[in-house]
Amino acid sequence: MLLDATTVLASAAIAVWLELRAGSTAGAREFYRGTMFSDHFIGRQLAVLCGFILALIVTSRRLNLYSPARLQSFLHEQRLSVQACFTSGVLLLGTLYLVDDTEVPHGVVLITLALATVGLSLRRIFYRILLYRRFDRGIDTRNVLIVGTGPEAHALRRYLESVRHLGYKFKGFIGVTDEELRQDSGTLDVAGTVDTLFQHARKQFVDEIFITAPCDPVAMQEILEQARASRVNLRVVPNIYGGTAWNSPIEYIGQFPTIPLHSGRVPEVTRLIKRFFDVIFLMLMLVLLAPFFLLVAMVIKLDSSGPVFYAADRIGKKGRVFRCFKLRTMVDDAEDRRADILHMNERDGVLFKISNDPRITRVGRLLRKYSLDELPQFFNVLRGDMSVVGPRPPIASEVKEYKLGHLRRLDVTPGITGLWQVQARRDPSFDSYVSLDVAYIESWSMWLDFKIIVRTIGVVLAGTGT
């Protein structure tokens, strides 16, 4: 909505500028000096412009242009965008006619409408291009389970996997009965039955569940209540289910009609604010630390053989694997020697940490003490794999040993620093590690992020890293 309003304001400004350049010199000068900056003109025309913006936003909302882009095809979205501009434009012209406003040249109004239409269309095209690129990288995709194993379920799966702009990732079928599970036991795509539906939803980081098989009303109501509790979107490939879906609108996922029974709240605004903060903070740190970063890289190269950077796979949001970058603090064959020192582990549970790890180099020990080895992770923040503040990204071997409740910490983007790092960094307890991460997720705010960053500075300067 804010981008739509900004586009209209920019279009109006460009239209006035074009009118001043295209009009006669005397007429343009009179309009510029005598009319444009008069109190009567500015107040009246700003009111009309704000009315047009409000009409555009209301019309766009009625046409579902602010719903997720993946639910509409590209051409359909463009048609609705033009329709919204046309409808709002008619209202604008009608208003100007009724108030008999002759002070503004008609050319300004028409150019504003034309530029706004083109601008809104181009903005939505650009947004879709960015969205599709993120889908290709596995970012912002939505994991789905399909309840049912019949022809409709398989047809829906094929469609979700074949249409790129939907951004869905199929995670398995759910059999309605045990007999259905036994009949399909030969395929790995059948994850379980309805009784274990939300356990599999938790393990697979599922965002939406599609129900294609008939369920009795009582079971359907239980599924709906669990979906609300788990904040998982629930869709039915239509069946009324004893009144559960009455008065619910039908949304088309491509050619498949679905009835959304529950839609979890997606905090798009807070995610945008957090991402904006990450980028600003990242740029500031890169400018301030660039010379120091080059100096540290030279020292690492001189201290021991091997590359300056160390890259390893880490598990990010919703279990997505990404390459995490750090400055190398160990000898080049550290991974090969890991098995020899497992008995020296000082942490419990799935964590692995040794204070006096023999694989650490001289420079590496200093870098770890002040957490300087994590500086390259700002590039992970730039790529969107990580955030400045969030749970630390685990390795795959740790995640394999997670219990169901531990997966909660993978619901959000991992961070360079977090609540555990500033509050219980030396606590060997894995349960404490997880509980602090979950507490951060449940009580997140920008103020909390700011406090963690400030406390991180103190922790780094104190040299408590190992």
> Each residue of 270-309: pLDDT tens digit?
888 899 999 999 899 888 888 888 888 888 888 888 888 8
Helix (H, G, I), strand (E, B) or coil at 290: helix
Give the model's pLDDT for residue 465: 60
Cα angle value 408/413/418 (rounded, 5°) = 85
Name the pairing type of β-strands 168-175 and 190-193.
Answer: parallel
Residue 49 amino acid letter: L
193, with CB counted inside 10 A (0-12, 13-18, 19+), is middle
Cα angle value 193/434/319 (rounded, 5°) = 50
For domain 142-264, the question of CATH label 3.40.50.720 is answered with yes
The number of beta carbons lying within 10 Å of the beta carbon of residue 395 is: 14
> Each residue of 174-203: pLDDT tens digit?
988 766 666 655 556 888 888 889 999 999
**What is the C-alpha separation between 311 and 324, in angstroms, rounded?**
5
Give the model's pLDDT for residue 360: 81
Give rounded-to-5 percent helix, strand, coil for the chain: 60, 10, 30
Domains of the chain: which residue ranges?
2-136, 142-264, 269-462
> Each residue of 1-16: pLDDT tens digit?
888 999 989 988 888 7
**What is the C-alpha separation between 219 and 28, in angstroms, rounded?**
72
Q: Which residues have C-beta within 8 Å of that of residue 306, sequence separation ≥ 6?
A: 328, 331, 332
Give the model's pLDDT for residue 414: 93
Q: Is the pTM above the cut of 0.75?
A: no
Q: What is the CA radius of gyration of the chain?
A: 28
Give the model's pLDDT for residue 26: 43
**What is the C-alpha separation between 321 and 138, in angstroms, rounded?**
9
Burial 249-264 (b: 16+ CB within 10 A, else e): eebebbebebbebbbe
